[in-house]
Amino acid sequence: MTAYFERLSDRAFRATDAVQGAWNTAEQHIAPTIGLLAHLVEQHRDARRDDGLVLARLSYDILGVLPIDVVEVEIAVVRPGRTIELVEATLSHGSRPAVILRAWLMQTADTAALAGGALPIMPPLDAHADWAPGDIWPGAFIRSGDFRHDEAEPGRASAWVRPHHPLLDGERISATARALGVVDVANGVSPRVPIGSAFFPNVDLTAHLFREPDEGWIGLDTTVTFGAAGIGLTHTVLNDASGPFGVSMQSLTVRPSA
């Protein structure tokens, strides 16, 4: 089975054609890179400690576009700690940093007696229709998964996503890293305007997770908002079959086409 990346060394990875992007098919879709960096931070954690810290907040800054080529990753602990630590991962192409992740890892505890919240629960998988996002978006990545979709109006929709390919062949990928590898598609599940009338790529993605997801379909309950001065926001409640497990936000640069 084709993976999104091939490992070349401890820090070098070759992107495969499966990562082909939607805004430009000569560039990578950023979604698999987001999952890859989460996976590598977890591997780095496991090589250093065995006390079960989990990813709680991941903030990605996207510094530029990436060709479908070899990338390198460097990881460092910014703030070490016994129960909480901050880790930074930098993904580069040709020595040029392209994506920087800062991730807070936190110790778990039994808070089942306190658990709860008011985040909306998505309608289940069978309440959504099959959807082929490749009918509106180009690129191989958006065709590399199963989708179910329900759109209330432009800019407001929910979608269930299940990727076809692993992030890396031959490596165990956590359910968290796997889910993060598709979260970026939220910005495209309900365009506010017809594709081609404007560009609205995201310059970042921040995910806050309050529990680990399961291994099944990933739910994206998404609202897209455009401001009047060229800046937008995509807000998504992240779901699995048991309900919400976190939220993500993407800052958009909105550019009307000429």
* 69: pLDDT strictly greater than 80: yes
3-state DSSP percent of the chain in helix, strand and coil, to 5: 20, 45, 40
Domains of the chain, residue spans: 5-107+130-256
String of DSSP letters for 195-233: TTSEE--BSEEEEEESS---SS-EEEEEEEEE-TTSEEE
Q: Which helix (H) or strand (E) holds 32?
A: helix 30-48
Per-residue pLDDT reduced to its tens digit, 10-25: 999 999 999 999 999 9
Is the Cα torsion angle 131, 161, 194, 120 positive or negative in sign? positive
Token code pair at residue 192: 């506010």
This prediction has a pTM of 0.97
State residue 1's pLDDT score.
62
CA distance 202 to 185: 10
State residue 32's pLDDT score.
98
Per-residue pLDDT reduced to its tens digit, 196-255: 899 999 999 999 999 999 999 999 999 999 999 999 999 999 999 999 999 999 999 999
Per-residue pLDDT reduced to its tens digit, 97-156: 999 999 999 999 999 999 999 999 999 999 999 999 999 999 999 999 999 999 999 999
How does the average pLDDT of the chain come out, rounded?
Answer: 96
Neighbours of 36 (CB within 10 A): 28
* 258: pLDDT strictly greater than 90: no
3-class SS of residue 40: helix
- Select 5-107+130-256's CATH number: 3.30.450.90, 2.30.30.40, 2.40.160.210, 2.70.98.40: 2.40.160.210
For residues 16-39, average pLDDT: 97
Token code pair at residue 147: 């989708």
State residue 52's pLDDT score.
87
Q: Residue 2's pLDDT band (boundaries 50, 70, 90)?
A: confident
Per-residue pLDDT reduced to its tens digit, 71-84: 999 999 999 999 99
Pairing type for strands 129-130 and 96-106 reads: unpaired
- For residue 76, CA distances in Å to 81, 102, 173 come to 13, 10, 20
